[in-house]
Amino acid sequence: MKVSSVFVGVIHCPAGRHRTFLEWHDLDHRPANLGEIPHMFHSARWIAPPESLASREVGAEWPLEDSGQYLLTYWSTASPQQLKPDMFLLRDRLAALGRCQPMKRDFTIPWREYAHPVRAYVAPRLGFSPDAVPFLPHDGVVLTVGREPDDGGTWAAEYDREILPGLFASGSVIAAITLMTTASTGQPGFVHLNYVRGTPTDAQEIIRAGVGAKPAIDFRASYVPQHWSEPSYYE
């Protein structure tokens, strides 16, 4: 795969701050990161419609009372160990120029990971390579954060060989990438980004049923693409 690391994070905006966050993120932060960090090649943002919040799945180990309204990703050809300091270094440079005021004023990042991708798949009927995953036209993304069972990788292999083909056959899921994280429990932590067509909450239910109860799910939520010029559901 072209990608070697992905920053993924959920964003919370307080009332009255959504518009300033969206404009800053699309008109300043994303162009600066994509333009000035040589190994960064893609970024995207999604929003959770208010009606989707009731369908969120939250496990006992998920530490957040409020998981926010937005989902962000930044994609890089460098390792997570390089992506993180490079993003922090750019943040410091922008802050010195007075361009980081929205941080902690207009939004917070309740959860984030600098994760390593291990597998990516595209629905076979589409005929694209795994490198196309973040660029495919889609109606939404289902984010799953969890921990693999302590079974020597049996469930992870089942997910790749049996569960994902079933999700692709449903017609709702068109692409998927698995990112590995560091779980506080010592169990292998994972993040699944499933790109979907149709109603994301319907796809989330299909994913929930397909994945089953073996992995410990900390958080699962659905989002739709969001652009700065579009009105926020929360304004």
For residue 230, tell me if it sits in a domain: no
Question: Does any domain span residue 233?
Answer: no
**Residue indicated by tokens 């989330």:** 204
Q: How confident is the model at residue 90 (pLDDT cuts 50, 70, 90)?
A: very high
- Which CATH number goes with the domain that contains 108? 3.30.70.100
In a domain, 131, yes or no: yes
Please say if the pLDDT value at position 221 is more than 80: yes
The answer to whether residue 232 is domain-embedded is no
Q: Does some domain include residue 215?
A: yes
Which sign, positive or negative, has the C-alpha torsion 128, 131, 135, 140? Answer: positive
9 lies in some domain: yes
231 within a domain of the structure (yes/no): no
d(CA 86, CA 60): 33
- Angstrom distances, CA of residue 225 to CA of 71, 74, 141, 232: 9, 15, 8, 11
pLDDT (mean) for 183-188: 53
What digits encode the pLDDT tens for the residues 5-32?
999 999 999 999 999 999 999 999 999 9
Residue 235 lies in a domain: no
Run of H or E residues at 107? none
Six-digit token string for 113: 């990971």
Between CA 83 and CA 43 the distance in angstroms is 13
- Number of domains the chain contains: 1
Q: What percent of the chain has pLDDT over 90?
A: 85
Mean pLDDT of the 91-108 span: 92
- What length does the chain have? 235
Domain span including residue 23? 5-225
- Give the pLDDT score at 166: 96
Chain CA centroid to CA 214, Å: 22
Q: What is the mean pLDDT of residues 215-234?
A: 92
Provide the pLDDT for residue 231. Answer: 82
What pairs with residue 180 in β-bridges?
Answer: 116, 190
- pLDDT value at residue 63: 82
Q: What is the pLDDT of residue 203?
A: 97
Neighbouring residues of 122: CB distance < 8 A, sequence distance ≥ 6 = 128, 129, 130, 132, 133, 136, 174, 175
Segment among 98-102, 128-132, 161-165 with least mean pLDDT: 98-102
Query: How confident is residue 60, by pLDDT bands cut at 50, 70 and 90?
Result: confident
Q: What is the Cα Rg of the chain in Å?
A: 17
Task: Please give the pLDDT value at position 45.
Answer: 97
Task: Please tell me the predicted confidence (pLDDT) of residue 157.
Answer: 94
- Look at the block and give the residue holding tokens 């795969």: 1
pLDDT band at 38 (very low <50, low <70, confident <90, very high): very high
Q: Can you tell me the distance from the alpha carbon of 12 to that of 18, in angstroms, rounded to the nearest whole number?
A: 9
Q: Is the pLDDT of residue 183 over 70?
A: no
